[in-house]
Structure 1
């Protein structure tokens, strides 16, 4: 690969691809979520007229509850309803070495919004991912406030240059045989059309692809506990990355001054995404790369279900056919590898960014159960909204494997 770091001498000659209208990406995500609601719905549940009779709860509550409602439980964490009818109903959540009592919400399962959720339980997942996206939107404002005196742009640029210096002189320098500039220049000189495809891939696949995976896995996972591990891992990966974005703003290579040898092919190619632009999008969040972090988690999950490795599925679970085994391996390796090439070739990330993302994802996997401490908050929220959390439908369609 050429070693050109004094500036970009190549011309951007590739013709831009057709750009989606501003409503295109939200429509794609909406269609994915809507289809997920339909496929994961509880077919025999009714919204207007709940099936079954009603059973009175302890006197003084003034609330009735359907006898046919299934208890909702998150993963394998126990939620025990008070067996003494003379006392108010409650759940007992185990938190670390102790426990906490939270109000039971079974009495609210006859409410209209509870029946809607019971019909479409995937709405719960949609709510939490929208909430996570909201937290991401806050990282830019908080980071700007923290670095208002020194100037966040200058701090982010300094951090970006620091990352490149670590790659060059640090103890892990042997992991980065090619400079980011050399990779982009190789595509600029020989494969500009491919670089345009990478720009579109980077902009359009990240959010719809991740949402699509969550929807697909909610439908096909062998059990909800397995799905919940993956979901919690992705969520904790997000939260850890958000903290890093806020405290360590890092400018991506394409936004560095031209003298460092990068070309902002994203803006040259008009390849901006609605998820990558706007006042609330944090463009100074190169470290770690969540594009690679998501793809790493997805790829690991697919490799896990190929059952081709010692850490594969348990003996009690269904073996995938040869076709699905090959498919899981090909996609489990190919997807994160494609994302890795894309984020470097488009100068959206440094080599160290995906390495940090993989490390954070592994940490999130081993610590994912820490998010269970938030279940009492969910109980109180449901009680405040007079809402009964539905039992998930994950695992009811095992034939799809």
Structure 2
């Protein structure tokens, strides 16, 4: 049995007032990093054409037939544009909140996985700025469906950003596709930890639909989607080591600044009352007995029985044999 003095202290439960600013800070740094990572446009176009040539050589340029389908059928293209412009920013936070409220035991690792993969994606944008298919010359056979159906939505001719705000996004950050990466993150968590069969089905459908949407709208190449999946895989491998590193940093911080460190509650030292739900380390806390009152099932000596009976007469059924428990006899009952 592990000594309580050597057992590791339990980590404090995440609180929403600390989680929300942390996530906002990471997303703000990611968005700012995308803008800073803007490279030369000609270099981004060259990278995009290189990816397209490689796909044609391998016969995996699936974005061509999908883009033609979305362009020819507004009933498919318009909902796909809405999905591309919104689901990326809605589903991921919803899954995070769901994990925070319902799956606390895996929330912290899932959050670390998402953050790590997002930062790896930012490195990819910096090292390999890539022109998406929709921004290539028309002779390459792509149509920008976001621009074609822009009158139906809030976006303009510059990606999925609202009209007039295109300058606040980096349109040459196509490799890797974090639309696909975040969708895979959501899908895996919904499939593994969802209890409702519809939730698990959504975990399968959402990443598949996202892959089709990003290619059909000409926002990403197929290899961008593959790179997004690879980034999430590497992020999953790095999440646990980074969590251990963060724990060591937090431990040193708590030693150096004990007043600022969050206090963790150990579940081993808490007992919950089945009636009121109040926690107390002592089972009989708050219970008192009056003079002469005996807890049911408690052993008593004959002297106690005499004192408790009216007139000092031994009470029937006291459980003390004749001659046992006399004054001055300190022998335990089991020995007698």
Q: TM-score range by the shorter chain?
A: 0.5 to 0.7
Specify the alignment match of 1:181 in structure 2: 64
- For the pair 1:204 / 2:98, whether they are aligned, the reply is no
- For the pair 1:347 / 2:218, whether they are aligned, the reply is yes
TM-score scaled to structure 2, two decimals?
A: 0.66
Return structure 1 stretches of 4+ with deviation > 6 angstroms.
379-384
Specify the alignment match of 1:220 in structure 2: 102
- For the pair 1:295 / 2:200, whether they are aligned, the reply is no
User: How far apart, in 1, do the equivalents of 2:220 and 2:126 lie?
Assistant: 17
User: How far apart, in 2, do the equivalents of 1:391 and 1:159 lie?
Assistant: 50
Q: Per residue, is there more helix in 1 or in 2?
A: 2
Specify the alignment match of 1:20 in structure 2: none
User: How far apart, in 2, do the equivalents of 1:231 and 1:218 lie?
Assistant: 9
Instruction: After TM superposition, give the deviation of residue 205 of structure 1 in Å.
Output: 1.3
User: How far apart, in 1, do the equivalents of 2:227 and 2:263 lie?
Assistant: 36
- For the pair 1:134 / 2:28, whether they are aligned, the reply is yes
**Structure 1: 5+ residue runs without aligned partners?**
1-76, 81-92, 94-105, 107-117, 307-319, 393-401
Instruction: After TM superposition, give the deviation of residue 275 of structure 1 in Å.
Output: 7.6
Q: CA 1:129–1:188 in structure 2 vs 1: closer, same or farther (change >3 Å)?
A: same
Specify the alignment match of 1:244 in structure 2: 124
Instruction: After TM superposition, give the deviation of residue 79 of structure 1 in Å.
Output: 5.8
Q: Whose RCO is larger (CA < 8 A, sep 6+)?
A: 1
Q: CA 1:79–1:251 in structure 2 vs 1: closer, same or farther (change >3 Å)?
A: farther
Q: Is the 8 A contact 1:121 1:391 kept in 2?
A: no
Q: Secondary structure of 2:172's partner?
A: coil
- For the pair 1:370 / 2:241, whether they are aligned, the reply is yes
User: How far apart, in 1, do the equivalents of 2:264 and 2:137 lie?
Assistant: 53
Q: Is the 8 A contact 2:174 2:220 kept in 1?
A: yes
Q: Is the 8 A contact 2:70 2:145 kept in 1?
A: no
Q: CA 1:346–1:141 in structure 2 vs 1: closer, same or farther (change >3 Å)?
A: closer
TM-score scaled to structure 1, two decimals?
A: 0.56
Specify the alignment match of 2:43 in structure 1: 155
User: How far apart, in 1, do the equivalents of 2:128 and 2:264 lie?
Assistant: 39
Instruction: State the Cα RMSD in Å.
Output: 3.1
User: How far apart, in 1, do the equivalents of 2:136 and 2:251 lie?
Assistant: 47
**Structural mapping, 1:308-327, within 5 Å:** 320=195, 324=196, 326-327=197-198
Q: CA 1:79–1:339 in structure 2 vs 1: closer, same or farther (change >3 Å)?
A: same
Q: Per residue, is there more strand in 1 or in 2?
A: 1
**Structure 2: 5+ residue runs without aligned partners?**
1-6, 266-336
Residues 348-392 of structure 1, C-alpha deviations (whole Å, 9 max, x = no match): 1100111111111111112212322244656788988x7444769
Q: Which range is displaced more, 286-295 or 259-268?
A: 259-268
